[in-house]
A and B are shown apart, each in its own frame.
Chain A
Amino acid sequence: MKTGLAEVVPIGARRAGPPRFTDDESLVYGIRAGNQGAMDALVDRYASYVERVLVRLLGFDSELPDLVHDVFLTALDSIKSLRQAALLKEWLRSITVFVARGCLRRRRRRRWLIFRPEHELPDLASDVLPSDTADALGRLYKVLGRMPPDECIVFALRFVAELELAEVAVACRVSRTTVKRRLKKAEARFAAEASKDPLLREWMDRGTRWSEP
């Protein structure tokens, strides 16, 4: 029943070889020391992941390159606040959520201020996906974009990115109870909003891959 600590954390494992940013701990230390190689390694290692999380939250958004850049800039500026280097990935995910939420809020404010009907739908998807798929994605994120940002984010993280509740809570820096409450509202709102789009409703009612005949 008892587990020796040496079995859990092998002694000496941390001192094997010179650090070359092969693990997140050395990477974080390197960034804190101002090492350019460490900063590059951070982007190399996590840019695709950050991009994927942003796409889950916002779709193939035209601002995607700027948002990826903003995530890493925020991360480099606040690297000192990362208390556990081993949680670097989760920490970056949390920053990504923060940046995406800022984007959604900004658009929401803009919509109210200048009475602009909606954010122009992303057109990047049509560059890389078949038109019907790009259309489905566009409609999905149009619906999500009409939801309050906090609800949109928990919904997208839970049901599109398929994160566990606890992971969503950590990413949004809120409690699990708050996540559950937001999810409940978000699900109802998504159902109501999605039902207004006949094509979207049809795709969901079909319950099979939309591109199938």
Chain B
Amino acid sequence: MSRRDDFLREMALAEDEGLLRGSVVGTTKIRLQQTLARRARRRPTWPLVLSVASAAAAVVVVVVVARRAPLTFAVGDAHVRGEVDAPIVATEERPVDLAFSDGSLFALAPRGRARVTSIDSRGAAILVERGRADVSVVPRKNGSWRVDVGPFEIHVKGTRFSIDWDPEAERLDFHLHKGAVVITAPCLEGGRSLVAGESFEASCRPLALPSPPPAAPGAPFAARADVRPIARAHAEAPLTSSWRQLAADQDYAGALEAARRFGFERELRLGGPSDLLVLGDVARLAGDPERAVEAYEAAHRKHPAEDRSAFAIGLVEFDHWHRYRRAADWFAAYLGEQPDGPLVDEARGRLMEAWQRAGEQAKARAVAEAYLTRSPNGQYADLARGLTQ
């Protein structure tokens, strides 16, 4: 090391000493909060003429375009513009409100978690992953709103209701205050229509008890009736928790079965990228490569430049189907999408091996050289050296 470098290193150590004695970050948080609050209070002060002209133009735009313009929504007290598919998480202390541009409101109670999965000019679809929510939808002609809760789909026109979803117990508690809704689910034959004042408590999970008193098909819906029609439809199925819990317990076959029962396609449609990746892992490790690739591809479509979906598809092509050229394409895609990703070494090693197995020695050698430059002691280093010699 040169004397210059020695000196600079000593300077850096001195800086660390200085920072220990006199950091300036103590006021950062308060200053930042003040700045953000000032911004929120600030309002543009347009000249009157411009305001009038803008208002007139806005009216024209509203009349002409409003019917086609998709709704928007703002999240939380700060009214941050919401994004489709971004998780909305309420902390233990505070609820989170979603205010839609048509006046509809979705209030997520503390500890709840939800996502807006789609939005257009007629309404939105909201997935409640956990917890309680109070929903108030403004009635509109051609309005179309849907709230997805576990296996249940609540189709809404204009109404006000509360839901409480316990994903561990797979249990929905629904209270309709105003209007009318239709609730559908794989375990609810023909769905259920509810009117104002009715409540609905249901689970599509198989009953633990061997002989539950089944509800009569088509029986009138009593307030807070405990409806468990799945007990008849899947009486032979074992008692299972949700597929996520089973996956966490490494029971991949059970998790895949639960996901199928829950509605695999529906999960593909509504699941977030991280859920889809886990679902793909579940299917792959349960020995169902087709389902695995379906889930990984869904994740890749939703967030092509994020996460490891391309790498995971490459794994399936390589390990299960031995289609090495396709595998190589996917590993290369991962490396292109995430040049600094956590699986780069593994992907490069697999890419090298895939080209080698596909009989593309020149390509395998080129990758091997790149691999040795980056990871001379990596787990594929022996193979790489063999290819470059």
Binds B, one of A35-43, A97-105, A145-153: A35-43
Given contacts A39-B32, A65-B24, A204-B4, contact A160 B248 (CB under 8 A): no
B148-191 to A contact mask, C-beta < 8 Å, 1/0 = 00000000000000000000000000000000000000000000
Which B residues touch A40, using CB under 8 A? 29, 33
Residue among B79, B111, B284, B305 making CB contact with A5, cutoff 8 Å:
B284
**Stretch from B15-23, B63-71, B224-232, B358-366 contacting the other chain:** B15-23
Q: Binding site of B, secondary structure by majority: helix, strand, loop or mixed?
A: helix
In the assembled complex, the Cα of A80 lies from the Cα of B81 at a distance in Å of 11
Interface residue stretch chosen among B89-97, B139-147, B204-212? B89-97
Count, chain A residues at interface, CB 8 A: 75
Asked whether B25 lies within 8 Å of A68 as measured between CB atoms, the reply is yes
Are the CB atoms of B11 and A160 closer together than 8 Å? yes
- The residue among A69, A76, A137 with the most chain B CB atoms within 10 A of its own CB is A69
A56 CA to B18 CA, complexed, in Å: 12
> Are B24's CB and A34's CB within 8 A?
no
CB under 8 Å from chain A, chain B span 4-55: 4-12, 14-19, 21-25, 27-29, 31-33, 35-36
Chain A residues near B308 (CB, 8 Å)?
5, 9
Apart from the given pairs A12-B245, A12-B278, A133-B14, 15 other A-B contacts in the complex at a CB distance below 8 Å? A1-B379, A5-B312, A8-B343, A29-B87, A33-B86, A33-B87, A35-B89, A35-B91, A65-B31, A69-B35, A76-B32, A83-B305, A159-B8, A160-B8, A207-B3
Complex A-B, nearest 9 residue pairs according to Cβ-Cβ distance, in ascending order? A12-B248, A34-B80, A34-B76, A207-B3, A128-B22, A47-B25, A34-B78, A128-B21, A128-B18
Q: B residues engaging A (CB < 8 A)?
A: 3-12, 14-19, 21-25, 27-29, 31-33, 35-36, 75-80, 82-83, 86-89, 91-94, 96, 111, 113, 130, 244-245, 247-250, 252, 274, 277-278, 281-282, 284-285, 305-306, 308, 312, 315, 319, 338, 340, 342-343, 346, 353, 379-380, 383
